[in-house]
Chain A
Amino acid sequence: MVDQEPSVISRRRTLGGALAGGAAFAAGGLLNGCATRSDVRRRDTADPWRQFAGCTLNFVSENTAPTSAIAADAERFTALTGIHVNIVTLELSALVQKVALDLASGQSQYQIIYADSYQVLAPYADGLVDLREPASDDSLPGDDSDLADFFPLQMDVSGRFGGGDRVLALPYDCATMIWQYRKDLFEAYHDRMANDLGFDPTPGPQRTWEEYYRIAEWFNDNVDEVSYGTGHQAKQHDSLMCDFSNVLFAHGGQYFENGEHIGRFGAVDPGPSALGSEEALAGAEFYSRLLSIADPASTTWDWTGLGAAFAAGRVAMCPNWHEFAADNERSLPGKVGYTTLPSGPAKSANMYGGAGIAINGNTAPNERAAAWLFLKWATSRKTQLRNLTGEVGGATPTRSSIYRTPEVRRAQRRPSGMPTMLTAPAVQQAWKPEYSGLRPKIPMWNECDTAIYTELSRMLAGDVAPRGAMRDARDHIDRIVSRGWVAAE
């Protein structure tokens, strides 16, 4: 026979103990101090590259072209420094989770971090090392004047946050949205198209988005080689926001007042949203109209889906990331052209989506110096040039001096051994402030981004008119921004 009373007492005691344990956990004391890490050993050697020989570093990165190239080349770094680097490549959202949890642990399981400007750099800027410190360290190779070789726009967007001179990451990845089009079809139909449309249809920033619309419509009606004139990456998520942003910025719209400054340097408190402006509305109305004549599958494509559809010859043109040039050249050799996106009433805006590599702020001093050696090597002229020509190449250099070398200049014309370099004239132009398109670099961007693409998605589905979509997105963003950023204060 079981007596009920003792079990009540026992349950109370158990709960009491558990509550105490829970409170201890919640207070954070137990979460933080579970383990301590020792620093790596610094050797006494004349070769500054080999001071940390024998140590192991962990690098967590998105599965992008530069990281594939670096991973294939990592043995050279080990041979140069004696440092072994474990490279973990992940899809971006998984990477952001790993980084956030690593920072929350107070440790540094990953000493080197792929710092996406919007999901890592902006929210966790205070958790990253100011790279001017190791760059000016005389005991380490090189000096901080070397930082001037990076494109200024990339250095600001991918490497800095919140103004000031702090350098938190080195530009490492520089994906840029440009106009990709079927050069063969534009050449074949040029005169007919010019006659019918009444303007020279040759793609370039001299074309307007209205003209882009009419060209797309013309392809829909007159050309059998492709199913549709234009395709878009309008599946909800980042891709829809990026695709729309090109049009928004071109029409003079911005997500926030002073949007270009916030896009380039970042801000924790960006102020009220500017999506309610007439310029933003004009952009949204045009985008809605453009998508109505685009390939209907556009609403299920992200950049990969669109890239595959374009390479398969389904659409005549599209705005997409320049890195898809390598796939295009494999599928449609010599048939694709690349240029900056059309202009709107305000400008030609080409979304820049680059990222940097950074060092975890929780690293110990020697570990930090060893990580700096990797950053320095991975973004060096020699390594970036080798990545361009290597078997798993395709990574686009972030150092301006590389574009001046004869071999890279030659590769910008066909036949080219570096297909990505065929986009170099277009992307270099897109990296000038007057052609760039920069989404807001704010810590709470992920949530704002979700609100934006959700409202855009509703607009494209016909559930809400462009004015309603912009108004709702603005209200949503204002609510998010007014809550502030608490995760990494």
Chain B
Amino acid sequence: MNASEDVREPLKRRRNGAASRHVGFTGRMMLPGIVPLAALTVLPFLTIVVMSFSDVRLLGGMRLDFAGLKNWGRFFTDPDMGWFWLRTAGYFALTLGLEMVLGVVLALCVWRLVRGRNLVLSLLLLPMFVAPVIVGLLGRFLTDPTFGLYTWLLERIGYDGDLLGDTFTAFAAVVAMDVWEWTPLIALITLAGLSAVPPTLREAAALDGAGRWQTLRHIVLPSISNVLLVALLIRAMDAIRYFDIIWVTTNGGPANATKIVPVRLYETAFRFFDFGYAAVVGLAMLFASIVVARLFVRMLDRKGLAR
């Protein structure tokens, strides 16, 4: 053992000692949480990574055969994949945008209510409590060309097309169904934010002669911007994996008009049983989700709300 080793050894021992003391205390406390968490997330994640470089064979027991970059190469050269992502981005922007605008407007309306607020709020929140699959089924029945109520109403005003049979209207219909279901959540979160706006601020604005629009723009909205950002983050994470309503109503059709990446992922894995390629699509979705989440978290961070 030379001199430098003499110096390093106690350091190493001290560090290890500190580590074991640290792991000994926090590690033991966290172990019951970390182990199931690893089992539920890290192991499947690593398995999916390995699957993405494999051909997955099913007969007589699952087997993975190394396929190199084949699945990844296919992902980047798939002529349809770009359209699926583009459509996903369209859904994301439309559903999130409409839900935010409508949610804030509804919250402001309810906030202004003096009487019957609880009743209105309860009615407003009802769609949120319906399972997305049921929303899809309801939507399908309401737009059915033979007996659908909405079809009948639209016929009365001169529209004789088929809502879920046309590419544009099918896209609009499934967006509308998601907006109907989740706008109340935004309204609820916004309402909570509005309740926290200090009355003194509004009174001061009123004394300064600010009108309703000015108060809203310069006092209320800046006061609830943090809450709106949180609502945006919550819905964004959900909207990026939008699946149930589309699957129940249109199956991604007509002519792929409503086929977004999560639908494509499901189809690849559980209809075509191409698990290797599905793993690649799933990992790409995960990456996209992380990017979006990081974007919003950074925005929260700038406002000092991330910690």
Contacts and interface: CB of A to CB of B under 8 A. Distances in A.
Interface string A15-55: 10111011101111001100000000000000000000000
A457 B254 contact: yes
A234 to B, nearest CB: 8
A454 B161 contact: no
A416 to B, nearest CB: 28
A236 B54 CA distance: 31
A463 B64 CA distance: 40
Contacts of B58: 100, 103-104, 124, 127, 487-488
B29 interface: no
Contact of B146 (A28, A308, A446): A308
Interface stretch (B43-51, B181-189, B216-224, B282-290): B43-51
Interface stretch (B99-107, B129-137, B205-213, B271-279): B271-279
A14 interface: yes
Interface string A308-325: 110010100000000000
Contacts of A312: 146
Contacts of A3: 18, 22
Interface stretch (B1-9, B87-95, B120-128, B163-171): B163-171
Interface centre among B45, B255, B257 (most CB of A within 10 A): B255
On chain A, which size bracket covers the interface? 35 or more
A31 B162 contact: no
Contacts of A97: 270
A32 B146 CA distance: 49
Contacts of B276: 486
B46 A22 contact: yes
Contacts of B256: 454, 457-458
A444 B253 CA distance: 20
B123 to A, nearest CB: 31
B109 interface: no
A25 B62 CA distance: 10
Given A22-B45, A362-B60, A487-B57, 15 more contacts: A5-B15, A10-B19, A10-B23, A14-B38, A22-B47, A25-B43, A32-B63, A297-B162, A308-B146, A454-B253, A458-B255, A461-B257, A463-B255, A487-B58, A488-B58
21 contacts: A3-B22, A5-B15, A6-B23, A10-B23, A22-B50, A26-B47, A26-B51, A97-B270, A106-B61, A124-B58, A296-B162, A296-B165, A297-B162, A299-B162, A299-B254, A312-B146, A446-B271, A454-B255, A458-B255, A461-B254, A486-B55
